Amino acid sequence: MVIATPIGNAGDITLRALDALRAADVVACEDTRVTGSLLKRHGVATPLTPYHEHNAARVRPLLIQRLQGGETVALVSDAGTPLVSDPGYKLVRGCIEAGIPVTHLPGASSVLTALVVSGLPSDRFLFCGFPPPRTKARREVLAEVAEVRATLVFLESPKRLAASLADMAEVLGDRPAAVTRELTKLFEEVRRGGLAALADEYARSGPPKGEVTLVVAPPAESQGGDASALDDELADALGRLSLRDAVAEVAQRLALPRKTVYDRALQLRSGG
């Protein structure tokens, strides 16, 4: 049996999870130093073994062999719920294929916590994982989810945060968003605002420290088919501003991608 037990760096853990960790024969974890410190704090003496993206292919068969021999393996993560952007899901899949029962003991989750504290709609959301690190690929991925009528949740590297926010503002439109950092930990922080303003803020201040989860609002209602609202806004803006400034103003006002607004502005100017 694999017990996927989430443990945050701040020590968030349930009593049920502690009981499961004590009962396990071995605890598989990303970093034995991090998990060892937490288990020592709670008086858990179960042996540890490293299981992470660099050794997963070699260690996974060994863990499954131990499970087939009747042992209990507990899988934990350094940063909250396992299996999200880590190799834990492959271990679970291997156990299922081998007929080994799997259970999960819920705990800290940056994705759900960020969604809750963002203040954005939570009835429908899409977890998008990490965007690609390079601009072109990142914008292509963002374009794929631009029309999804749900709140979007991303994980991101602090050093790429400003660039990602800028690309999101360009491709998704200047939607409301929340940048959350170090959730459920000592230095938890949430910053809310439009994507463009947040991009500027982090471009000026530099990369934040810790783990970042981004939450982005769904597309504005007008994006789904109210073309007349876009045309009316563009007609007014083009009467006062240059094409570039008009597109920027309307894209921000309606939270639409600038390319969508620009293409329609060109059509209107040509009599389309």
Instruction: Give the model's confidence band at 267: pLDDT under 50 very low, under 70 low, under 90 confident, else very high.
Output: confident
pLDDT, tens only, 92-105: 999 999 999 999 88
Instruction: Give the model's confidence band at 55: pLDDT under 50 very low, under 70 low, under 90 confident, else very high.
Output: very high
Share of the chain above pLDDT 90, in %: 59
Q: Which two tokens stand for residue 32?
A: 């034995």
SS3 of residue 147 by DSSP: coil
pLDDT, tens only, 107-159: 778 899 999 999 999 999 999 999 999 999 999 999 999 989 999 999 999 99
SS3 of residue 40 by DSSP: helix
- Is a pLDDT exceeding 60 seen at residue 253? yes
Instruction: Give the model's confidence band at 172: pLDDT under 50 very low, under 70 low, under 90 confident, else very high.
Output: very high
Whether 212 contacts 156, CB under 8 Å: yes
Our CA dihedral for 74, 75, 79, 82, rounded to 10 degrees, sits at -130
- Is a pLDDT exceeding 70 seen at residue 11? no
Identify the pLDDT of residue 68. 96
pLDDT, tens only, 190-246: 999 999 999 999 999 999 998 899 999 998 764 444 567 788 889 888 889 999 888
- The number of helix segments (H) and strand segments (E) in the chain equals 11, 10
Identify the pLDDT of residue 5. 58
What is the SS3 assignment for 210-267?
Answer: CCEEEEECCCCHHHHCCHHHHHHHHHHHHCCCCHHHHHHHHHHHHCCCHHHHHHHHHH
Helix axes 258-269, 227-238, angle to 10 degrees: 70
Question: Please, what sign has the CA dihedral across residues 61, 66, 72, 76?
Answer: negative
Q: Which residue has the higher pLDDT, 2 or 59?
A: 59
Whether 138 contacts 235, CB under 8 Å: no
